[in-house]
Structures are given as C-alpha cells and as structure tokens.
C-alpha cells in the first residue's frame, strides 16, 4: 500500500518498489497486490498506464463537487484543484474499466459541505467512480472545518438515505457504490469480532522517508510510537506491548456496547489527539457509532429476508464490487 502525503510525488520509488515486490514474489512463489491513494493531480498518461498494467487498487481523494472540493484542496497558489484533476480521473476510469479493478473515491467530510447523497451521486453517477466512501472529520474539534454532534447527525441521515438505495439495489440483485455500508455489511456477514480497531501494528506499519516504522501513516515520525526502522527491523517487544494495552478486553468502557465487534474503541491516532493517549477508546462518538451499526444490522436483515443470495457477495471479495451507479437508476 502506497500512502502519502501525495504518493505520486515519488512515482520513481513506487515503480521501483512494485518491480522489486513482483520479482521477490516470483522467487518465493507468492502473490502480491498493490494499492495507492492519490489526489490525482499527478496522474499523467505514463502513471495511469503503469497503475492499470499492474492492477493497482486506487482510491482518489476527492471531496465532491467543485465548490466543496476546492474549499480545502488547493494548489500552493490558492487555486482549486477540481478542474485540474477531473479530466485525469476520467482518463484513469476509462483506461482501467476493462481491467476490472474498482476505482474508489474517498471523501473527507467537513463542515459546510453539500448533503452526503448529493456528493455521492456526483461522484458515482456523474463522474463514474466504482465505489464512494466517506470519512467524517471528528478529531479536530478546534478547527473551523471540524464536525460537531449536530453535523454528525446530518451525516447519519445522509447515510440512511444511501443505505435505503443500497438495500433497494440489493433486493433487485444489483450492486451499489456506497462503500461504507458495503464494508459494514461484509463485517456483519463474516462475523467479524475485532480485538483491535484496525491493522495498525498488526498487518500494517507506516514507514517514514527516514526509514522509521510507525504504527500507521498517521504516527510516522511521532517518536514515542515508533516500532523500529527498516535497518534493524520491527521492535517486537514494543509492538506486543502496545497491542496488549489496546486489546478490546482492556477497554472497560466498551465491554457492554453492542457495536464493540465493529468499532473496538476507534482510531488510535484520534485517541492520541483527543486524550493524549492512543490506548484509550474514543468515547466522544459512541452514540454515532452505535446508530451507524444499528443501521447496518437493519439493512442486513432486510437483505437477508428479501434476497439472501445477494449476501454471497460478501464471501467473494474484500472490497466493494465494481458497479456503474447512475443517479436516475437509483431508487430514492
């Protein structure tokens, strides 16, 4: 997984690392896959051809329509980036489509943006992304763009609207591009019971430009959360100690919560920012998480009763299936 900053600022390293990984995988008889997150500003023809040829899973950071996107995603000159990236994204989608790997949009939700369904239909229906996922900003409460409880409530209402569309599509045997719900339904279907909230320190580490290993990309160069370096390897003692402290069994406040298997206390970095302790559960959005999990359970029940065959979707893939969602085709 290549994650920035902006990953394509160092395309030379991405290409070298990809080729090295493929060579080593052949030597070891293993398979290897690649994924990348980008803001699309550096998607040249050469880069697009390379990513498509090597079947990269790609997420594009784009925040919706021109007005919403350009509010925070500007060039150093202050000019918005929407008009610059749109033709690049369309070219990526066009070249990638025959190869079948889904291209996702990742939306960072901040204060003052268009309603969630409107943003979704712009990205999935008008632009043509295969999946659209939303990430509300909840860790920066002292900033003007941060979301408060009232904003989170509005976002949940938007999620409910999209969830209704998803269920209607599923009952018809069709796929829908709302990846937040797809991922939650997959966890429910597979009986996921998380001991830790994410793969940080488990299946993934962040690597700084200096070679330091951090819990994840958010903890790169944080010092106290370093888990070794690429020269000496992983500090297994420190890693094991952190994972033991953050196991769900140690988070007493979470023990009686029905959303625990899917949340497991939430993001370490958010806890670090809010509570100055990465091992603490994020109690400030518990009600929101419970409401979201309840919505997912209700959607799962409707699909299980109305079209149980659709649930086989969640046995076949770990990412949202490729879809072509057009606004006029979605049941409101």
Q: Is the pLDDT of residue 145 over 70?
A: no
Could you give the percent of the chain with pLDDT greater than 90? 77
User: If you average pLDDT over residues 166-172, what whole number do you get?
Assistant: 98
For the segment 221-261, what is each residue's pLDDT rounded down to a tens digit? 888 889 999 999 999 999 999 999 999 999 999 999 999 99
Quick check: 32 and 22 in contact, CB under 8 A? yes
What pTM value is reported for the model? Answer: 0.87
Q: Give the sign of the dihedral formed by CA 84, CA 127, CA 32, CA 320.
A: positive
Looking at residue 321, the DSSP 8-state letter turns out to be P
- CA 136/CA 44 separation, integer angstroms: 30
Closest to 123 measured CA to CA, from 90, 172, 149 = 90
- List, in order of start, the domains of the chain with CATH numbers: 7-190+295-329 (3.20.20.70), 206-287 (no CATH)
What integer pLDDT is reported at residue 317 of this predicted model? 54
User: If you average pLDDT over residues 310-320, what whole number do you get?
Assistant: 73
- CA 36/CA 14 separation, integer angstroms: 9
What is the rounded radius of gyration, in angstroms, for the C-alpha atoms of the chain? 20
Query: Burial of 173 by CB count in 10 Å (0-12 exposed, 13-18 middle, 19+ buried)?
Result: exposed
- Give the C-alpha distances (Å, rounded to integers) separating 179 from 105, 144, 159, 306: 9, 27, 11, 21
What integer pLDDT is reported at residue 268 of this predicted model? 94
Instruction: Specify the pairing of strand 212-214 against strand 206-207.
Output: antiparallel
- CA 192/CA 163 separation, integer angstroms: 20
- CA 2/CA 54 separation, integer angstroms: 14
């Amino acid at each position: 997984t290549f994650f920035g900053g902006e990953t394509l600022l160092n395309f030379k390293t991405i290409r070298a690392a990809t080729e090295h990984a493929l060579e080593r995988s052949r030597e070891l008889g293993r398979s290897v896959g690649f994924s990348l997150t980008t803001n699309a500003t550096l998607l040249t023809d050469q880069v697009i051809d390379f990513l498509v040829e090597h079947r990269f899973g790609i997420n594009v950071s784009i925040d919706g329509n021109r007005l919403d996107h350009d509010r925070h995603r500007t060039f150093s000159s202050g000019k918005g980036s929407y008009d610059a990236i749109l033709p690049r994204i369309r070219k990526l989608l066009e070249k990638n489509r025959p190869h079948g790997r889904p291209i996702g949009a990742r939306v960072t939700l901040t204060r003052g943006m268009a309603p969630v369904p409107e943003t979704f239909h712009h990205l999935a229906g008008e632009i043509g992304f295969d999946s659209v996922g939303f990430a509300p900003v909840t860790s920066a409460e002292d900033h003007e763009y941060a979301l408060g409880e009232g904003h989170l409530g509005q976002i949940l209402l938007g999620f409910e609207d999209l969830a209704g569309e998803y269920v209607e599509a599923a009952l018809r045997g069709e796929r829908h591009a709302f990846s937040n719900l797809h991922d939650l339904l997959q966890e429910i279907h597979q009986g996921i019971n998380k001991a830790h909230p994410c793969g940080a320190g488990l299946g993934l580490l962040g690597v700084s430009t200096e070679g330091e290993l951090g819990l994840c990309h958010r903890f790169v160069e944080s010092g106290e959360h370093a888990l070794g370096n690429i020269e000496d390897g992983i500090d297994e003692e420190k890693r094991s100690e952190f994972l033991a402290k953050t196991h769900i069994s140690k988070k007493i406040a979470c023990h009686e919560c029905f959303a625990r298997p899917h949340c497991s206390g939430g993001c370490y970095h958010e806890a670090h920012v809010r509570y100055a302790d990465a091992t603490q559960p994020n109690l400030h959005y518990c009600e929101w998480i419970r409401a979201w999990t309840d919505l997912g359970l209700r959607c799962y029940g409707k699909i299980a009763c109305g079209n149980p065959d659709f649930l086989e979707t969640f046995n076949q893939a770990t990412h949202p299936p490729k879809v072509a969602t057009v606004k006029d085709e979605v049941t409101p």
